[in-house]
Chain A
């Protein structure tokens, strides 16, 4: 199962990547993108099983990325966890409306994030 980590912060991508590596996810299954635009390209080339996506990013933000991905037949039902600092209720409503599967507010401890990720691992 492939994972795509999408965040404009290299430090955040490293933190999320390390959580997956710590739980025996093979590095060859991990892909990274620094914005939604690059992530769409990777998603079309790889068969992604779980997306971890930030909201605020340059070029194409997480919300628009989710809308684009959900319009692709192969990703209609693929789990998408949005991991964002955006904590307002209206942000959560917008994200769920766009097709996000699970919404997580940063900062989040690694073990709690892993508990959420592990629900979707086949």
Chain B
């Protein structure tokens, strides 16, 4: 996967979590996700189609999802209910939509976001394309950004 794919998503994530939400957040060194099923309990996923295709996922522990969506919505949630799940979908929608402005070489359409919860789920990543995972540490908990994209044939 081309390195230029990943940076717009890191920038969009930093803008959302640091500049907008005001979290004390730092991104770590990207790595190849060896077991694509080893994501956290709450994952927001969005598909990209057009001149590049693939998927982008934000993955949170239950507590981190609740903490971050409480901050995002301006309302303190206590449990992983429909609003928190809805909010996680909105976060990945914002990251993917914002990243498009820096993917200047491609015309891309983003799908509607989806949110998966649980401990044993499988995401259908593009075949034969590595999933690059970027760890983020924040004052509301840790999470990962996961990207797998390739040029359309």
Contacts and interface: CB of A to CB of B under 8 A. Distances in A.
Interface of A: 8-12, 14-15, 18, 56-58, 84-91, 105-107, 109
A106 B69 contact: no
Interface of B: 15-16, 20-21, 69, 72-75, 82-83, 86-87, 89-90, 93-101, 103, 107-108, 110, 112
13 contacts: A9-B86, A9-B87, A10-B86, A11-B90, A14-B83, A18-B74, A56-B97, A87-B98, A88-B101, A88-B108, A106-B97, A107-B16, A109-B20
A69 B74 CA distance: 32
Most B CB within 10 A of own CB, among A15, A18, A90, A107: A107
Contacts of B89: 9
Nearest to A106: B94
A91 B74 contact: no
A14 B16 CA distance: 18
A91 B112 CA distance: 16
Contact of A11 (B20, B87, B95, B110): B87
A11 B72 contact: yes
B110 A9 contact: no
A91 B106 CA distance: 13
Contacts of A91: 100
Nearest to A58: B112
A107 to B, nearest CB: 4
Given A9-B90, A14-B75, 11 more contacts: A9-B86, A9-B89, A11-B83, A14-B73, A18-B74, A57-B112, A85-B93, A88-B100, A88-B103, A88-B108, A107-B21
Contact of B97 (A11, A12, A87): A87
Contacts of B108: 88
A94 to B, nearest CB: 11
A104 B20 CA distance: 14
